[in-house]
């Protein structure tokens, strides 16, 4: 009897202590850029909290799950100004958080990665699409949630080839990142059997993106710029700098569709995506932010969810345990793309389907049917294991 009573008391104490235990705190940092990116279209101007809002939603989702597991997630947001030392800022943030979601240009991301190398902080790249970060410049402490330029280009190329639009007129902007995108498009054309019938460069001669008589001038310029092209099926534009691509649709000399940086655009996410349960996250996001969910929002959401997913699987908030699990072979995450997303173990790139959108609707999702692969059809997008230049650690 006494024994029973003692046992009962013991049990109730155990139960109370479980309930009373302070939750495990898991800090996630977000290192983003200050300032707004330039866009040709007024409706595509990113919101002031672009990306941050996605991370916040994921933290909320993680906490809904966390309350059942006694885990509590927090987000610390830092906006990097132009003259700020990224290495110092990243190191200061890493004092408080074991995981940092980064929306940084490639060089800044590398500086942050190098600064945090000894510390064991995990960086989740949600912004930079440069292939070199997954190839010759890859780092063991950086996971890439953002797709690469080559993944985006391959996703587009597969669709264009499926559509039998195999003759491309490639128009390239004059900035470095435009040229990198053009490289990826050329590689994609070769891989999937398209032919670039001619290349043209659209020089950025400066000038404002918004003027009072803008349309009149553009309507004279673009038809002239695109005339006398050899026979082609589709105009493919490489204009990450947002200088000219959005001016092309409906204005080309020949009546041809536009793809690439305008027209049919490959992207990791779009507000019109509603398949595979996506309507739920779109609704959740809109309710919280009174706006649509952008691709950067989704990449940040996915990054923070990866941390949450690994924390719930390992039942741990220890950055090393969680990071090792993310990098391990059993990790996968669900992100409303119709299949589980996993990491390429050779360069820590997240495998993912790519949406092809026209600005209002999701037109298709790549990889396209019929593009086969011995491991995962998602590896038909981007640089595959045999071609990689990445040596981790």
Partner 1 sequence: MQAELKEDGLHMWRHCLLFGVAAWLAAATPASAFIAYVSNEKSNTVSVIDTNSWTVTKTIKVGQRPRGIEFTRDGKFVFVAVGDDDSIQVIDVAKQEVVDSLPSGPDPELFALDADGKILYVANENDNTVTIIDVEKRARLGEIQVGVEPEGMAISPDGKILINTSETTNMAHFIDTTTREIVANVLVDARPRYAEFKRDNSEVWVSSEIGGTVSVIDPAKREVTKKISFEIPGLRSEAIQPVGIGMTKDGKTAFVALGPANRVAVVDAVSHKVTKYLLVGQRVWHMAFTPDEKYLLTTNGVSNDVSVIDVAAQKVIKTIQVGELPWGMTIAQP
Would you state the structure tokens that stand for residue 207, as one six-digit string? 């000038």
Stretch that binds partner 1, among 65-73, 79-87, 116-124, 242-250 (CB under 8 A): 65-73
Q: Does residue 334 belong to the site contacting partner 1 (CB under 8 A)?
A: yes
Q: How far is the CB of 267 from partner 1 (least distance, A)?
A: 21
Q: What is the DSSP letter of 341?
A: B
Would you state the structure tokens that stand for residue 68, as one six-digit string? 């059942």
289 vs 332 by CB, closer to partner 1: 332
Stretch that binds partner 1, among 75-83, 106-114, 220-228, 332-340 (CB under 8 A): 332-340
Q: How far is the CB of 213 from partner 1 (least distance, A)?
A: 44
Q: How far is CA 308 from CA 61, 269, 333, 344, 368, in A?
A: 9, 20, 10, 20, 31
Q: How far is the CB of 286 from partner 1 (least distance, A)?
A: 11
Q: Return the ∠ at Cα 298 (arms to 390 and 379), rounded to 5°.
A: 35
Stretch that binds partner 1, among 124-132, 146-154, 329-337, 380-388 (CB under 8 A): 329-337
DSSP assignment string, 33-90: ESS----SSGGGPPPTTTTHHHHHHHHHHHHHHHHHHTEEEEEEEEEE-TTS-HHHHH
Choice from 23, 24, 46, 61 touching partner 1 (CB under 8 A)? 61
Q: Does residue 332 belong to the site contacting partner 1 (CB under 8 A)?
A: yes
Q: What is the DSSP letter of 94?
A: H
Task: Name which of residues 67 to 96 contact partner 1 (CB under 8 A).
Answer: 68-69
Within 10 A of 1 (CB to CB), how many other CB atoms are there? Answer: 5
User: What phi and psi, each to the nearest 5 degrees, are found at residue 275?
Assistant: -85, 170
Q: How far is the CB of 11 from partner 1 (least distance, A)?
A: 15
Q: How far is the CB of 273 from partner 1 (least distance, A)?
A: 16
Q: How far is CA 348 from CA 146, 170, 193, 256, in A?
A: 11, 31, 28, 38
8 Å CB contact between 337 and 325: no
Q: Does residue 22 belong to the site contacting partner 1 (CB under 8 A)?
A: no
8 Å CB contact between 300 and 101: yes
Stretch that binds partner 1, among 25-33, 62-70, 225-233, 261-269 (CB under 8 A): 62-70
Task: Name which of residues 339 to 358 contact partner 1 (CB under 8 A).
Answer: 339-340
Segments in 254-318 forming alpha helices (H): 278-289, 295-314
168 vs 336 by CB, closer to partner 1: 336
Q: Residue 236 belongs to what H/E stretch?
A: strand 234-238
> CA–CA separation, 336 vs 302, rounded Å?
10
Q: How far is the CB of 292 from partner 1 (least distance, A)?
A: 17
In the stretch 249-288, what mask flags binding to partner 1 with x, by CB under 8 A?
----------------------------x--x--xx----
Stretch that binds partner 1, among 140-148, 199-207, 235-243, 326-334 (CB under 8 A): 326-334
Choice from 24, 46, 65, 201 touching partner 1 (CB under 8 A)? 65
Stretch that binds partner 1, among 57-65, 136-144, 153-161, 355-363 (CB under 8 A): 57-65
Q: Does residue 328 belong to the site contacting partner 1 (CB under 8 A)?
A: no
Round to the nearest angstrom and report the end-to-end CA distance of the chain: 62
228 vs 374 by CB, closer to partner 1: 374
Residue with tokens 């086969």: 372
Would you state the structure tokens that stand for residue 194, as one six-digit string? 């398209």
Q: How far is the CB of 129 from partner 1 (least distance, A)?
A: 23
68 vs 393 by CB, closer to partner 1: 68
30 vs 285 by CB, closer to partner 1: 285
Q: How far is the CB of 135 from partner 1 (least distance, A)?
A: 25
DSSP assignment string, 172-227: EESSHHHHHHHHHHHHHHHHHT-EEEEEEEE------S--TTHHHHHHHHHHHHT-
Q: Does residue 290 belong to the site contacting partner 1 (CB under 8 A)?
A: no
Q: 383, 332, 393: which is closest to 134 by C-alpha?
A: 383
Footprint on this chain of partner 1 (rule: CB under 8 A): 61, 64-65, 68-69, 277, 280, 283-284, 305, 309, 312-313, 332-334, 338-340, 376-378
């Amino acid at each position: 009897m006494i024994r029973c009573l003692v046992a009962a008391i013991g049990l109730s104490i155990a139960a109370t202590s479980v309930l009373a235990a302070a939750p495990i705190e898991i800090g996630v940092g977000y290192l983003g850029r200050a300032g707004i990116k330039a866009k040709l279209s007024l409706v595509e101007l990113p919101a002031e909290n672009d990306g941050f809002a996605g991370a916040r939603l994921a933290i909320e989702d993680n906490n809904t799950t966390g309350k059942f597991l006694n885990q509590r997630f927090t987000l610390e947001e830092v906006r990097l100004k132009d003259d700020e030392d990224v290495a110092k800022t990243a190191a200061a943030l890493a004092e408080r958080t074991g995981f940092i979601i980064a929306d940084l240009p490639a060089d800044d991301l590398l500086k942050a990665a190098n600064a945090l190398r000894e510390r064991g902080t995990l960086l989740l790249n949600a912004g930079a699409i440069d292939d070199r970060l997954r190839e010759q410049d890859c780092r063991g402490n950086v996971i890439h949630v953002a797709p690469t330029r080559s993944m985006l280009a391959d996703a587009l190329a597969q669709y264009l080839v499926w559509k039998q639009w195999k003759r491309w007129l490639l128009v390239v902007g004059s900035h470095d990142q435009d040229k990198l995108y053009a490289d990826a498009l050329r590689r994609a054309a070769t891989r999937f059997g398209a032919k670039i019938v001619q290349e043209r460069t659209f020089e950025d001669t400066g000038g404002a993106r918004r003027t009072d008589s803008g349309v009149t001038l553009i309507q004279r310029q673009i038809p002239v710029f695109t005339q006398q092209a050899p026979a082609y099926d589709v105009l493919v534009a490489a204009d990450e700098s947002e200088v000219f691509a959005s001016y092309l649709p409906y204005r080309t000399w020949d009546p041809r569709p536009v793809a690439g940086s305008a027209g049919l655009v490959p992207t990791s996410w779009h507000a019109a995506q509603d398949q595979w349960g996506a309507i739920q996250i779109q609704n959740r996001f809109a309710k919280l932010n009174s706006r649509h969910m952008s691709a950067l929002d989704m990449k940040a959401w996915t990054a923070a969810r990866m941390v949450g997913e690994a924390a719930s699987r390992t039942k741990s908030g220890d950055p090393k345990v969680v990071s090792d699990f993310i990098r391990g072979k059993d990790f996968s995450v669900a992100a409303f793309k119709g299949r589980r997303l996993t990491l390429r173990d050779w360069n820590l790139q997240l495998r993912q389907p790519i949406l092809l959108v026209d600005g209002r609707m999701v037109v298709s999702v790549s990889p396209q049917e019929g593009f086969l692969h011995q491991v995962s059809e998602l590896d038909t997008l981007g640089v595959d294991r045999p071609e990689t230049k990445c040596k981790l650690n």
